[in-house]
Structure 1
């Protein structure tokens, strides 16, 4: 415990307090000896970094619980399918907090995991898509609450699944299965053009 506290730059008393608050997992025990590892050190450094960013201990405890109970990256890729065009991004909890300053709550973290945006891999988080991460962060910087961005993501996902079903059925009725990937850019172009024109119409309708 003394060695762990020294490496983390905190006192043994603070470490005991974090253990009592369940901010770090219990050590592995062999008889009367408690063994800590790099996972504990990484968690302590994360706690210190989040405290520096203005998070409270209660908020960090809630984040830790959501983190520990989130789906791992294997489940994430199993649910969402390994992306063929999207690039997953590895993030520390501190880096995620920097992307969404003040918006990383246990509720939002759980919502992002339920949506399939985030998974865990050891002490890191994995976002399924660099583009979605960047766009979500940009929307939050524009003043849109992250909770609403994630709620919109749920609705977009539903529409995207319906559109994928439509184009998959259309293409497979008139082409071979192997043509589906080749014709994929055409389907995306149709959706992009229609969305662009729909946004134009909404802008013209605004007073």
Structure 2
């Protein structure tokens, strides 16, 4: 414990307090010896970084609970990584920097539920760098992250329906295995229709 506290730049008393609050996992024990590892050190450094960004210990404890009960990256990527979207690995403090002041337990739980985020050890994996950057840009423009996630949930339902429509149509009229090659055509149709729909909506 003394060695871990020294590496993390905190006192043993603070480390004990964090353990009592459940902010770090218990050590691995062998008899009377308690072993801490790099995961404990990474968590302590994350706590320090979040405290510097204005998060409270209560808030960090809530985030840790949501983080540890979230979906594992293996569950999210279990059917294979996205063919076009690029996953991105983040530390908890890097995620907090993308959405300053908006990374709450509720928003984290919603993102985990949507499959946008997954956990992998001490890291967070976002399923799509593009979605992460767009979401962050919307938050910087003043849209609350909770609303961005709710819109994302609704868009997901429509996107699934569109994907079903295109896949069924292409599978019915093309040779086996051609759907993947023709997917850019489906994306172009959706982009053009969305653009025209935005025009109609804005004219109203």
**TM-score bracket relative to the smaller structure:** over 0.9
Q: Secondary structure at the match of 1:102?
A: coil
Task: Identify the residue that residue 45 of structure 2 maps to in structure 1.
Answer: 45
Task: Identify the residue that residue 22 of structure 1 maps to in structure 2.
Answer: 22
Q: Secondary structure at the match of 2:43?
A: helix
1:157 aligns with 2:149: no
Q: Secondary structure at the match of 1:26?
A: coil
Q: Post-superposition shift, 1:22?
A: 0.5
The residue correspondences of 1:19-168 to structure 2 (distance < 5 A) are 19-78=19-78, 81-168=80-167
Task: List gaps (5 residues or longer) in structure 2.
Answer: none
Task: List gaps (5 residues or longer) in structure 1.
Answer: none
Task: Identify the residue that residue 12 of structure 1 maps to in structure 2.
Answer: 12
In the superposition, the TM-score normalised over structure 2's length comes to: 0.98
In the superposition, the TM-score normalised over structure 1's length comes to: 0.97
Q: C-alpha offsets along residues 161-182 of structure 1, whole Å, 9 cap, x if unaligned?
A: 0000000111111112211011
Q: C-alpha offsets along residues 23-63 of structure 1, whole Å, 9 cap, x if unaligned?
A: 00000111111110000000000000000000000000001
Give the RMSD, CA atoms, in angstroms.
0.8
Moved over 2 A (4+): none
Alignment: residue pair count? 204
